[in-house]
Amino acid sequence: MTADLTQLFNLYYEPLVRMIYRRTGDRDRAEDLAQETFARAVSAPPDNPRPWLFAVALNLVREDGRRATTRGRRLELLRNEPDGPDRGPEAELERNEETGRVRSALATLKERDREALLLKAEGFDYDEIAATLGLAKGAVGTTLARARRRLVEAYRAQERGKHVAS
Amino acid sequence: MSHLDEGTLHALLDGELELHEVREIQAHLGSCTACDTRLQAAKDVFGEADRLVASVQFPGSVKAPRAEVERVEETLPTAATAAPRRERRIEPQVVGSVDEPQVMILPDENTWPERRRRLLAAGRWAALLLVAVGAGYIASEVRKGAQPAAANLEQAPTAFVSPEETSRPDTTTAAPARAYAGSGSDSAQNRTPLVPRDEAAVRRRSAAPPPPEPRPQQTQNQSADVAEPPAPAAQNEERQVAPAEVDAATQEDIRAEAAEALAELDRQRRRDRAAAATAAIDQARREELEAEPAPAPAPPPPRTLEQRAGVYLRIGLDEAARQLGRPVHVIEGLNSEFMGLVQGRQSPGADSGRPVVRVVYRDSQGRMILLDQQRIRPGQNWPSGGTQWTVGEMGLRLHGDAPGAVLQNLRPRVR
C-alpha cells in the first residue's frame, strides 16, 4: 500500500497543489490541503485515484472556505514569493496584479464552472471531469464553455476598470 | 444539421469528439457562416481562458518529498498502523519560508529515551497507586477486626498521633506504614505523615487528657520495635488509631498521585497529538533548514503517454488543421488517444524549425503508434520510403512501438 501511495503521491501531489493554489491563492494552504487529501487516501484507498483525489481536494477546499467565512478570517494573500525567479520589482508587481485579476475573475464563476475549468487545466478529459464533479459527460462541454466565457468576460471587465481608473 | 452550440464547439476544440462527429461538424461549418463565426469566437475565448488559468502558477516549485507519504501514513490510526510500528523520529518542525520569521512547532522532546523515561515514570506512579490502595485495603481489614476494642477509645482525639505514640512497639500497625514507606529500619522518619502538620491540631492534642495508662516511652533503636512483642492494650489502641491515620494520610497522597499520573498521561497524549499534527509539514522545507543530508532521489514517476510520445502540447482537430493548413490525416479504423505538437527535430526529415502534428494511437496490444505530419515547404526534402511518404504537400511518417510490418499494414489505412 505504501508503494502504491508513494506512486500516487509522486504522480498527483504537484498537480493537486497547483490546482488548489489556483483555487485558494494560498500556497501553504494548498500544500496542507493536498497533504490532507493524501492522508484521506491512506485511510480509504481509492479505486480510481485521479478523480477521487481531485474530488476530495475540491471538497476540502470548499469546507475550508466555509470555515474561513464562518470565522471571518478570509484573507487575501498578497505574498512576495521568495523562491520565484527574480524578475525585478516592476515585473513582479505586474505579475502579482495579473494573477490577482485572474483570481478575482475566477472567483466570480460558479463553483462547478470554476472546478471544471481548474480540472481541465490539469489535463483532465471530459470523462474524468464528469466523474470528479458528478456531471454527465455531455454537460462537460457546456460547463467548460460557460466557465471560459465568463472568466474572460470578468477578466476583461477588470481590465477595462483598471484602464478607466488609471 | 442544426447549428452548433457553444458546448459542442468547446468539445471540438478540446478534441473530445469522435471522428464522425468532427466530420459532420466540418461539413456543417463549410456551409454555415454563422457557426463558423461562432467557432472563431469560441476559439478566442478558449485560448484566452486557458492562458488566464495557466498564468496563475504556483510560486516556486512544488516538491513531493519522498518520505511525505510514509509520514502521513504514520499519523493515521489505520489498520496498517495498528500493527507494530517502527519508531518515529519527531524533530522540531519549522513553518514558513526561509525569509519569514520562523515559527517552531516543538512537540516536546519525543525521542525514544525521553518517551521511555516518561513511560517508566507513569509505570512507577501506577505501581505506587496500587501499593497505596492495597495498604488502604489492609488497614480497613485490620480496623474491622479491632472494632470491639476500639469502642473504649472513641473518646480520645484519635485523629492525630504523636511521634511517641507511633513509635510504640507495634508490629501490626507498623506493617502497612512500612509497606507504604518502603523501609522498616527508619520507621520514625517514615511515619512522619502520621504527625499532624497543623499547629492548631497539635495544640488540641496537647490539651487533651493524657492516656489512661502511661506507656513507656521508647526513643531508642526503632528497629527493635519490630522485634519486640507489643502489649495487648497498646496493640488494640494502635489498631484503632494508626490505620485511620494511614487512611487519612495516604488517601490524600493517593489522590494527588493519581491526579499527577492522569495529568502525565494527558500530557503524553497531547504530545503525541502534537507530534502527529506536525509530522505532515513539508519535510523538504525542514530538511533545507536543518541542513540534513538530502534523501535519496525519489524514483521517477512512470512516464505518461504524452511524455512517451514526446508531445509538448495537446491540441484538438481544429488546431491541428490550422497547423497543417488542411484537415489532419488519421488512421482509419483506429481511435486516436490524442493529438499534439512535437518539436520538428524529433521527427526525421521534418523541418526542425516548425512543430510536427503527431496523432497518437494505441493498438489492441497497447503498443504506441504515432502518425507524424508536417506541411512540406518549398525546398524541404521529406524522405520517402517504407513508412514515410508524402501526400500532396503533406509529409507523413508512421512509427512507434509496433513492428515495422504492422506499420506497413497500417499505411494504406491513413486517410
DSSP chain A: -HHHHHHHHHHHHHHHHHHHHHHH--HHHHHHHHHHHHHHHHHS--SSHHHHHHHHHHHHHHHHHHHHHHHT---------TTS----HHHHHHHHHHHHHHHHHHHTS-HHHHHHHHHHHTT--HHHHHHHHT--HHHHHHHHHHHHHHHHHHHHHHHHHHHHH-
A154 CA to chain B: closest CA distance, Å? 11
Tell me, what's the pLDDT at B61? Answer: 62
Q: Do A38 and B69 touch (CB under 8 A)?
A: yes
Does the pLDDT at position B52 exceed 60? Answer: yes
Q: What integer pLDDT is reported at residue B67 of this predicted model?
A: 55
Task: State the average pLDDT over residues A37-44.
Answer: 83
Between B42 and B186, residue with greater pLDDT = B42
Q: Indicate yes or no: CB of A144 within 8 angstroms of CB of B5.
A: no
At residue B361, the pLDDT reads 92
The lowest-confidence range among A33-47, A144-158, B70-84, B277-291 is B70-84
Interface contact A103-B53, CB threshold 8 A: no
* DSSP H/E element including B397: strand B394-400
Note the CATH architecture for domain A1-71: Orthogonal Bundle (1.10)
A144 contacts in chain B (CB < 8 Å):
7, 10, 14
B-chain CB neighbours of A7 within 8 Å are: 301-302
Boundary-marking domain end, from B217, B244, B266: B266
CATH code of the domain in which B381 resides: 3.30.200
Contacts of B72 in chain A (CB under 8 A): 35, 38-39, 42
Q: What percent of chain A has pLDDT over 70?
A: 83
**Sign of the torsion angle spanned by Cα atoms A81, A86, A90, A94:** negative
Predicted local distance difference test score (pLDDT) of residue A116: 93
* pLDDT tier, B284 (very low <50, low <70, confident <90, very high otherwise): low
Residue B191 pLDDT: 42
Picking from B16, B49, B61, the nearest residue to A125 by CB comes out as: B16
- Interface contact flag, B302 A121, Cβ < 8 Å: no
Q: How far is A145 from chain B (nearest CA, A)?
A: 6
Do B410 and B346 sit in the same domain of this protein? yes
CB–CB contact B45 A141 (8 Å): no
- Judged against a pLDDT cut of 80, whether residue A153 lies above it is answered with yes
The pLDDT value given to residue B65: 54
Q: Which of B266, B293, B314 is the last residue of a domain?
A: B266
Q: Do A13 and B299 touch (CB under 8 A)?
A: no
C-alpha cell at B217: 516511652
Let me know if residue B89 belongs to a domain.
no
Cell numbers 478534441 correspond to what residue? B15
pLDDT at A141 over 90: yes
Q: Which of B94, B90, B54, B53 is nearest to B75 (CA)?
A: B90
B342-372: per-residue pLDDT in tens?
Answer: 888 888 888 888 889 999 998 888 889 999 9
Say yes or no: A31 contacts chain B, CB-CB below 8 A.
yes
pLDDT at A113: 93
Nearest to B181 by CA among B115, B229, B135: B135
Mean pLDDT of chain B: 67
ipTM value > 0.95: no
Q: How many residues does chain B have?
A: 415
Q: What is the mean pLDDT of residues A29-54?
A: 85
CB atoms within 10 A of CB A2: 12
For range B120-134, the mean pLDDT? 80
Q: Which of B238, B266, B294 is the last residue of a domain?
A: B266
Residues B258 and B308 in one domain: no
The CB density around residue B47, as the number of other CB atoms within 10 Å, is: 14
Please give the pLDDT value at position B146.
55
Residues from chain B contacting residue A148 (CB–CB below 8 Å): 10, 45-46, 48-50
pLDDT at B198 over 70: no
Residues B24 and B133 in one domain: no
Q: Chain A within 8 Å of B368 (Cβ-Cβ)?
A: no
CA distance A77 to chain B (A): 13
Average pLDDT over residues A53-78: 71
Q: Could you tell me if A112 lies within 8 Å of chain B, comparing CB atoms?
A: no
Q: Indicate the DSSP class of residue B265.
A: H
B80–A contact, CB cutoff 8 A: yes
Contact B159, B244 (CB under 8 A): yes
B298 neighbourhood in chain A, CB within 8 Å:
6, 10
Contact status of A107 with chain B (Cβ, < 8 Å): no
Q: What is the chain B residue with the closest CA to A79?
A: B59
B313 has which bridge partners?
Answer: B341
Residues B43 and B167 in one domain: no
Helix A2-24 to helix A111-121 angle, to the nearest 10 degrees?
Answer: 120
Interface test with A, best of B40, B51, B53, B283 (most A CBs within 10 A): B53
Chain A contact present for B282, CB below 8 A: yes
Q: At residue A102, does pLDDT exceed 80?
A: yes
Shared domain check, B315 and B180: no
Domain ranges of chain A: 1-71, 90-166
Contact yes or no for A145 and B6 at CB 8 A: yes
**pLDDT attached to residue A140:** 94
Range of the domain at B190: 121-266
Burial class (CB in 10 A: 0-12, 13-18, 19+), B219: exposed
Do both B135 and B228 map to the same domain? yes
Confidence of residue B73 (pLDDT cuts 50, 70, 90): low
Q: Which three cell numbers stand for residue B325?
A: 493548413
Cβ neighbours of A157 in B, within 8 Å: none
Interface test with B, best of A1, A4, A8, A9 (most B CBs within 10 A): A9
Residues B33, B125, single domain; the answer is: no
Task: Give residue B223's pLDDT.
Answer: 41
Give residues 3 to 22 of B whose Cβ lies within 8 Å of A.
Answer: 5-11, 14, 16
| Closest residue by Cα to residue B110 from B280, B278, B238, B331 | B278
Beta bridge partner(s), residue B389: B396
Counting every residue written for chain A, the total comes to 166
Which residue from B minimizes the CA distance to A13? B64
Environment class of residue B36 by beta-carbon count within 10 Å: exposed (0-12), middle (13-18) or buried (19+)?
A: middle
Q: Is there a domain that residue B218 lies in?
A: yes
Q: Which CATH number applies to A90-166: 3.30.1950.10, 3.50.50.60, 2.70.70.10, 1.10.10.10?
A: 1.10.10.10
Name the more confident of B163 and A97.
A97
Residue B177: its pLDDT value, please?
Answer: 39
Contact A148/B46, CB-based, under 8 Å? Answer: yes
Mutation target among B10, B17, B51 for the A interface, most CBs of A within 10 A? B10
Q: Is B61 on the interface with A (CB under 8 A)?
A: yes
Asked if A141 is an interface residue toward chain B (Cβ–Cβ < 8 A), one would say: yes
Q: Which residue from A minimizes the CA distance to B77? A: A43
Domain tally, chain B: 3
B414 vs A64, more confident: B414
Within-domain flag for B276: no
Q: CB contact, 8 Å: A155 with chain B? A: yes
Question: Which A-chain residues 34-73 have CB contacts (< 8 A) with chain B?
Answer: 35-36, 38-39, 42-43
